[in-house]
Structure 1
Amino acid sequence: MRTRPLRAILSALGIGIGIAAMVAVVSIPASSQQALREQLAALGTNLLTAAPGQTIMGADASLPTSAVPMVARIGPVTGVSATGDVDTTVRRTDRIDVAETSGISVLAARTDLLRLIRGTLHRGKFLDKVTENFPTVVLGSVAATRLGVDRTGTQVWMGNQWFTVVGILDAVPLAPEIERAALIGWHAAEALGFDGHPTTVYVRADDDRVENVRAVLGATINPESPSEVKVSRPSDALVAKRLTETSFSALFLGLGGVALLVGGVGVANTMVISVLERRREIGLRRALGASKRQVRGQFLAESVLLSLLGGIVGVLVGVGVTAGYALTRDWPAVFPPIALLGGVSVAAVVGALAGAYPAMRAARLSPTEALA
């Protein structure tokens, strides 16, 4: 290996690429899952949402105006708030066509909404008992970007009048619909034709009683037709999203396995060529008394060493890739021991398998045949 360093490096490189891919594919989802666990721990998994479903005739149902106070009467419920769709649009100026909504919805919001969904403000303040009665608006993070608003005090056109932006929200993972919305006060929304019926009710419950609350939430909101209420748990959607991401990880793991196989073939090819190039050396060693076992062990050891070298480099590269990717996503970098130890072990096994045939071929050469 010292006399042919370039060939050794290229042979080990194939193994290294495969191991690096496998380490990264195992470690990146682990980092993602840890970030999800930390995120859910901060946001809480005890948030439930209720929204109108459909009537038995297939028409769109609606939630009663008494939904919020009715839910608040449930014993394990620790907080409840709501938003309601307002039939209007929000635009940067009154010169923009009414059809250009930019995918932004206008929602009537209660003043306790931000606390309940555990959202945070990027700038300004949220609606309070005073501002909810006036033409003021709080923009979700996506809505602010689409409107080109990056500071409070800016005015936007809504319902044929100007509304002043008093706050801009950060991302809200458990309520992504809020990110694409313009939030106005419940009373201010009534001036724009809002009928007072909530379209989404947000409920916080005791951690150990969430499923019990979930079971009675529909009947509590709409006792006459509980089947017309859709109840969901937003944290389940986050978990499901990460599960779909792991399916892509399985695909990349397969690609890493293919790269590892190609690397193993490269090592085997290198060892076969090495046997052919060193026939005279093999013959000389056999003539001086080396046994078949010693010759076989020499070439097998070289093959395993090449693969181990590639495995160690691959593990280091995989760790670096994972750490860099986790840093860009603001995730904790997690490296499962099975990924690190398994990477080196797999490299050794691949090296042993790749070098088995060339080693046996070298051992079968007789001194006279090798020296001829």
Structure 2
Amino acid sequence: MKPRETVVVHGDYSLDSVAALFALFLDRNVVVPVVTLTDTTLDTLVEHCRRAISSGRPGRVRRSRTSPHGPNPPHGPNPPDRPSSPAPRNPPTGPRPCTARLGDPDAAGLVLLSSGSTGAPKVILHSLDVLVGEKLKKRPRRRENALNILMVLMFDHIGGINSLLSTLLVGGTAVLPRQRTPDEICALIERHRILVLPTSPTYLNLIMVGDYHRTHDLSSLRLITYGTEPMSEELLLRVRKTFPGVRLLQTFGTSETGIATTTSESSTANSSSGAGPSSSAICYDDDSLTEDRWFRTGDLVEEAAHGYLRIKGRAKEVINVGGEKLLPLELESVLMGSPLVEDCVVYGRPNAITGQSVCVDTIAMSDR
């Protein structure tokens, strides 16, 4: 394949996928990490990148060109001598591809896909050179004992890419899980004496609900970073109680803005719901920007003392009952404070009188 061609690295974290990511970076390609490759995803990539090369097995690639036999060749949809992948698509004509916005012909790119309101994913192009360069600028001196960091976030997520680059560029060891079950993750923490755990509030809750922190030795942990969703006050209190000697750091980022640098009021960092596009972001949906070029994340925030902001939830999650507005996280936090509730989820349903009504599904606390 040639430099600047768009290459889909199909798969989750593995030695092959990580090696492919950096090999394509050095070869000056545009890399698209995709854990689950669908027809819709491939169509979207071809629309914005003109052509995508799908690589799902070491040494085997497939170009998105039209087959002379159409989508179903004589051997069927997946011939025996070809890797399984979606049928190739016709490269569209019209505006220049998104990847042309890289400008520098020697630049390497990274394409991330985020969910779109119409069902088709949105394409966000980053300069991989800038992403790597930012990490190198902030790189601290190497430790005598290298950090072991567990890759819990997904390979095709901005948080997962950030974790991988941060780990390897400080000379750390990225521990790649075969499965992301709480039992597997906690077993890896114990086995490899993991110091830093990048994760999400939901995952921390699963660890505590399943008592995996009791069945495994997690005493090596020194830092837990969490993001991708808001952290309720009730859950934060339980995490602090469960991991009393571990520093907690909330991160904030989107596919369009990258991971933002945050400052902490105490041990938990809170970040703004509005952010300027990342210095590495080149191609994104301009409809998501304000007139002065701030990105609308769709998050609701509450301003606390000294200018700190607390993320309350997503604007689209608000339940409106006759003009009274409620965020599911607020009620879930109250319910989870009851010793009778093990887990719960709050959501809205249409109501002919009030517009919406509040519904709750709960799991009762079982006797232990």
Larger Rg: 1
TM-score (norm 1): 0.18
TM-score (norm 2): 0.18
- Ranked by relative contact order (alpha carbons within 8 Å, sequence separation 6 or more), the top structure is 1
Q: Which has the higher strand share?
A: 2
Q: Which has the higher helix share?
A: 1
